[in-house]
């Protein structure tokens, strides 16, 4: 069961365009992380957001965490072919007992940026 | 720091055979996780180790699956009597203590194909 819904599932755009990817959940997470994954490789961490309302920028990428810590967005400005990949959001759920934790992933948004 | 290393990268096995995968985490990371990813899906949590202790196992992990992390260093994931439904990418990740909020470092995965 995927607790995080990502939209859109697929996105194909031209180089230079802007785009936004959304990640929504009915659950509250202690933090939310965005990863980028290329075919045949493991996910690579882009950013972690922890505080409700937090905004982080990474070059042309802007990440926002919702005030209620249930949703997040990723905005890419002037997309380039090198941005092509699978973008995954993941929420961290910690259990009070035993110090256990679990990262719950969405299905991802497959982005293709055409030259 | 060479990152998280997984071996083998690819494994093709006949149905009914046993397979074992290895994960070498970043040396100072005390937390280690196994995830499984099938086509079109985000990674799904399998199990979590803090040092040598296995603190959580997903219901996805049937009794054919077993994971170990002797001495709190490398980890192995064994699948007994493999089935075609076990075909997937098996990902290992590690993180450092309470700073798990900073995100996980994933390996490149082991792609299992059961024929």
More confident residue, B53 or B97: B53
Which residues of chain A are within 8 Å of residue B7 when distances are taken between CB atoms?
Answer: none
Which residues of chain A are within 8 Å of residue B55 when distances are taken between CB atoms?
Answer: 98-100
Is A23:A4 a contact under the CB 8 Å cutoff?
yes
Task: Return the pLDDT at B61.
Answer: 82
Judged by a CB distance cut-off of 8 A, whether residue B25 touches chain A is no
What whole-number distance in Å separates Cα of residue B115 and Cα of residue B34? 23
Give yes or no for residue B106 having a pLDDT over 70: yes
Is B69:B49 a contact under the CB 8 Å cutoff?
yes
Task: Return the pLDDT at B102.
Answer: 64
Judged by a CB distance cut-off of 8 A, whether residue A51 touches chain B is no
What whole-number distance in Å separates Cα of residue A27 and Cα of residue B113? 34
Task: Quote the Cα angle for A72-A76-A82, to 5°.
Answer: 125
Could you tell me how many residues make up chain B?
115
pLDDT digits (tens, 9 = 90+) for A62-110: 999 999 988 999 999 999 999 999 999 999 887 656 667 788 999 999 9
B56:A44 CB<8 A = no
More confident residue, B80 or B50: B80
More confident residue, B72 or A14: A14
Which residues of chain A are within 8 Å of residue B44 when distances are taken between CB atoms?
Answer: 105
pLDDT category of residue B1 using cuts at 50, 70 and 90: low
Task: Return the pLDDT at B49.
Answer: 92
Judged by a CB distance cut-off of 8 A, whether residue A33 touches chain B is yes
More confident residue, B76 or A30: B76
Q: Which residue has the tokens 């910690």?
A: A94
Judged by a CB distance cut-off of 8 A, whether residue A1 touches chain B is no
Task: Quote the Cα angle for A66-A70-A76, to 5°.
Answer: 50
CA A9 vs CA A23, A47, B96: distances in Å: 11, 20, 31
What whole-number distance in Å separates Cα of residue B67 and Cα of residue A62? 38
pLDDT category of residue B62 using cuts at 50, 70 and 90: confident
Q: Nearest Cα to A109, choosing from A3, A1, A4, A11?
A: A11
Which residues of chain B are within 8 Å of residue A103 when distances are taken between CB atoms?
Answer: 33, 45, 93, 104
Mean pLDDT along residues B17-45: 94
């Amino acid at each position: 069961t995927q607790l995080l819904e990502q939209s859109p599932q697929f996105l194909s755009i031209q180089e230079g365009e802007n785009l936004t990817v959304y990640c929504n959940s009915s659950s509250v997470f202690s933090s939310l992380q965005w990863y980028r994954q290329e075919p045949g490789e493991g996910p690579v961490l882009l950013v972690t957001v922890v505080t409700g309302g937090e905004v982080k920028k990474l070059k042309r990428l802007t990440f926002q965490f919702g005030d209620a810590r249930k949703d997040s967005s990723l905005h890419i400005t002037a997309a380039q072919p090198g941005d092509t990949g699978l973008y995954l959001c993941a929420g961290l759920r910690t259990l009070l007992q035993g110090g256990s934790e679990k990262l719950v992933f969405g299905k991802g948004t497959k982005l293709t940026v055409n030259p | 720091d060479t990152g998280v290393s997984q071996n083998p990268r690819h494994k093709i096995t006949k149905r009914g055979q046993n397979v074992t995968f290895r994960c070498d985490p970043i040396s100072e990371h005390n937390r280690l996780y196994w995830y499984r990813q099938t086509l079109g899906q985000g990674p799904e949590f399998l199990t979590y180790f803090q040092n040598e202790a296995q603190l959580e196992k997903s219901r996805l992990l049937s009794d054919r699956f077993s994971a170990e992390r002797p001495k709190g260093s490398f980890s192995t994931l064994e699948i007994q009597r493999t089935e075609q439904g076990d075909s997937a990418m098996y990902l290992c990740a590690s993180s450092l203590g309470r700073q798990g909020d900073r995100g996980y470092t994933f390996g490149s995965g082991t792609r299992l194909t059961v024929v």
